[in-house]
Amino acid sequence: TDDNYRRASVLSALSSRLDAHCSGSAVATAPKKIKAARDYLKAVRMPKVMTDAAYAKAFHAEQQRLHDLQREARAKGVSTIVVFEGWDAAGKGGAIRRLTFALNARDYKVVPISAPNEEEQRYHYLWRFWRRLARAGDMTVFDRSWYGRVLVERVEKLIDKPTYVRGYSEINTFERQLHEGGHVIVKFWLHITKAEQKRRFKERRETPYKSWKLTKDDRRNRKKWKAYERAVNDMLENTSPATAPWTVIGANDKQRTRITVLQTVSDALARALRQHAGKNRRQQRQKL
């Protein structure tokens, strides 16, 4: 009730917190250890190459299924987030194009992620992802994502170990909040062999309309293959809860990869719609 006491108390509390933060005593520390990862990538098997006829048949059927499910999701306000990560030249862009072929252009948006711009660097790294989520009932497709925190930023040593270790729990919390808010989360790691990546790089270099895809960063990242393998295995081990599991696809065959992506997204959306319907029935019974 005393004006002077109130003002002095606020200033004292604020000053104390700032002093503690600047001295490092109030900064949150990351856990010193993360769960040891097994070699997930070594266990990935590359399926047989899909014939053109089998691909065409499956592609049209899966497109129709996804189209119908997304229309229902739009009507019921069920949102979907699809995350694509993978090696350079693993086929993320092609898989995204085939995924969106099935959808009304008003029902989705694709968000390509690169290095944060000057404005984004002023905020917490997850801020730029929160603000790009689509409205209720729509699908947001991320071509690379917040997992750059524990992949490229880790491998390129843009952040220290405590920071990227803390990133696992930050990402899990972020995705749990999305799930609790009603979002369906589907995450893909597209895995190709080092030999297949070399072949695709060569094809890009020799094809005029594809040569723009091959950059100096692609060649530089290839030299850090082992470091990225360790980072990916740690990511798969520490950020795959039941509500937002990773789907690792052996992606040497592009056609089978695209079918698997369509099937996986459709299956996740179908489960979410069944749960949504069951929740509505329970709510109606409670009202009665």
pLDDT digits (tens, 9 = 90+) for 200-257: 999 999 999 989 989 888 989 999 999 999 999 999 999 999 999 999 999 999 999 9
Judged by phi (left if over 0) then psi (alpha if -120 to 50, else beta), residue 77 lies in: left
Low-confidence winner among 24-33, 80-89, 159-168 (lowest mean pLDDT) = 24-33
Q: What's the average model confidence in pLDDT over 73-91?
A: 97
Low-confidence winner among 7-16, 62-71, 74-83, 104-113 (lowest mean pLDDT) = 7-16
Phi, psi of 19 (to 5 degrees): -60, -45
Q: How far is the C-alpha of 247 from the C-alpha of 261, rounded, in Å?
A: 9
% of the chain with per-residue pLDDT over 70: 92
8 A C-beta contact, residue 70 and residue 102: yes
* pLDDT given at position 94: 96
pLDDT at position 169 over 70: yes
* pLDDT given at position 248: 98
Helices (H), 77-188: 92-101, 127-130, 152-155, 161-180
**Hey, how many other C-beta atoms are within 10 angstroms of the C-beta on 229?**
18
Torsion of CA 172, 174, 179, 183, to 10 degrees: -130
Name the pLDDT band for 285 (thresholds 50, 70, 90): low
pLDDT at position 149 over 60: yes
* Element holding 142 (H helix, E strand): strand 139-143
Strand partners, 108: 139
* pLDDT given at position 87: 97
Name the pLDDT band for 25 (thresholds 50, 70, 90): low
Name the pLDDT band for 280 (thresholds 50, 70, 90): low
pLDDT at position 93 over 70: yes
pLDDT at position 22 over 90: no
Q: What's the average model confidence in pLDDT over 153-173?
A: 96
Mean residue pLDDT of the chain comes to 92
Name the pLDDT band for 16 (thresholds 50, 70, 90): confident
Q: What's the average model confidence in pLDDT over 132-159?
A: 96
* pLDDT given at position 20: 83
Torsion sign across C-alpha atoms 160, 234, 49, 53: negative
pLDDT digits over 103-113, tens only?
999 999 999 99
Q: What's the average model confidence in pLDDT over 184-193?
A: 98
Q: What's the average model confidence in pLDDT over 137-151?
A: 97
Q: What's the average model confidence in pLDDT over 29-38?
A: 64
Nearest CA-CA partner of 249 in 45, 37, 82, 94: 45
